[in-house]
Structure 1
């Protein structure tokens, strides 16, 4: 496992699927110049997703081999699909930047917090269930996707009290602005020399 150095921090964006957590994380990450660590998954890409941009899409056999090789820092199975983060990817991103971010569900966020403690700050992004379903319908989501989002919603929302920061994504621009302001405070926290 990669050992974080003094100023290095991990920001984890979490919350219900369809809440806009990925959009917000990517906009904030771009604004602040924070490196993104992608998860690996065995699920097929959705219509709007690209390999190497949203996830690393790999086969079940590739995932199993990486797991046997001990490459994953954490891995989970959800709805019959596997997801995992590779330790080497975290190390590589920290070679480029003192701050990195990931987009994870509650299980992944909980695991990273357990592994890295205070070096992990969790940002919970949410909206009400109907808004999520409406947004997904507008994006052309099928009934199976809608049912999956609805089924996991309460479980995902139950994780909010464990997170340091929570934002209701009622207005994307405002949410991005507020999250950016919050993360800037972490990034500037050690700039004053008190000697």
Structure 2
């Protein structure tokens, strides 16, 4: 755990809930051919989410069993839902590709940075509070759910200063273009190191 080869990089997309980090991450990942590592969650899929594509949705009992076996490198509880990331999944994805990506909240991003150090490149995705509120209401969330998700907005925004890169996300294609260009510099660096 935490022992990666020089060329192996973990791109972590983070930022406030509702910032669009998932849409951005998946678009960038597809564009660059990166392998996605999924977290585990003990909640039901939200509208539009697919098991094995967005998360591994599992029961709380199975989560507890995996945790007891020391299976999670990172584990957080948010509003009674457990989220975890397994180091085995990271290692397996590195066997297929030299670089991988994940989508984590700031707490998870920080834990991964502490574990893998300079191999982790954090990409902070954000939008202003009103934009996020409008997006979440348009997705069909209740005002109560939106308020609960935005209750951590300021704390999440404060994490931006610790990340390697930050991108405003008001236009998905523009954001994806900027991030893709940024990550290309890391990927080219890795290709040069292989030669």
Normalised by the size of structure 2, how large is the TM-score?
0.96
Q: Does 1:154 align with 2:119?
A: no
Query: Could you tell me which residue of structure 1 aligns to residue 8 of structure 2?
Result: 8
Separation (CA, whole Å) in 2 of partners of 1:164 and 1:38: 22
Gaps of 5+ in 1: none
Query: Could you tell me which residue of structure 2 aligns to residue 98 of structure 1?
Result: 98
Deviation at 1:47, TM superposition (A): 1.2
Q: Does 1:71 align with 2:71?
A: yes
Deviation at 1:191, TM superposition (A): 3.3
Aligned length: 195
Separation (CA, whole Å) in 1 of partners of 2:169 and 2:45: 24
Query: Could you tell me which residue of structure 2 aligns to residue 188 of structure 1?
Result: 188
Separation (CA, whole Å) in 2 of partners of 1:152 and 1:48: 23
> In terms of mean alpha carbon deviation, does 140-149 or 98-107 score higher?
140-149
Separation (CA, whole Å) in 1 of partners of 2:109 and 2:160: 11
Separation (CA, whole Å) in 1 of partners of 2:64 and 2:164: 33
Deviation at 1:192, TM superposition (A): 3.5
Separation (CA, whole Å) in 2 of partners of 1:190 and 1:179: 17
Q: Does 1:41 align with 2:41?
A: yes
Query: Could you tell me which residue of structure 2 aligns to residue 141 of structure 1?
Result: 141
> In terms of mean alpha carbon deviation, does 139-148 or 88-97 score higher?
139-148
Deviation at 1:120, TM superposition (A): 0.3
Spell out, residue by residue over 1:16-75, the C-alpha distance to the aligned partner (whole angstroms, 9 max, x if none): 111110000000000000000000011221111111011001111100000001111110
Separation (CA, whole Å) in 1 of partners of 2:179 and 2:73: 26
Q: Residues 192, 102 of structure 1: CA spacing in aligned structure 2 closer, same or farther, 3 A cutoff? A: closer
Query: Could you tell me which residue of structure 2 aligns to residue 55 of structure 1?
Result: 55
User: Contact 1:2/1:90 (CA < 8 Å) preserved in 2?
Assistant: no
Gaps of 5+ in 2: none
> RMSD between aligned alpha carbons?
1.5
Q: Residues 189, 13 of structure 1: CA spacing in aligned structure 2 closer, same or farther, 3 A cutoff? A: same
User: Contact 2:14/2:106 (CA < 8 Å) preserved in 1?
Assistant: yes
Normalised by the size of structure 1, how large is the TM-score?
0.96
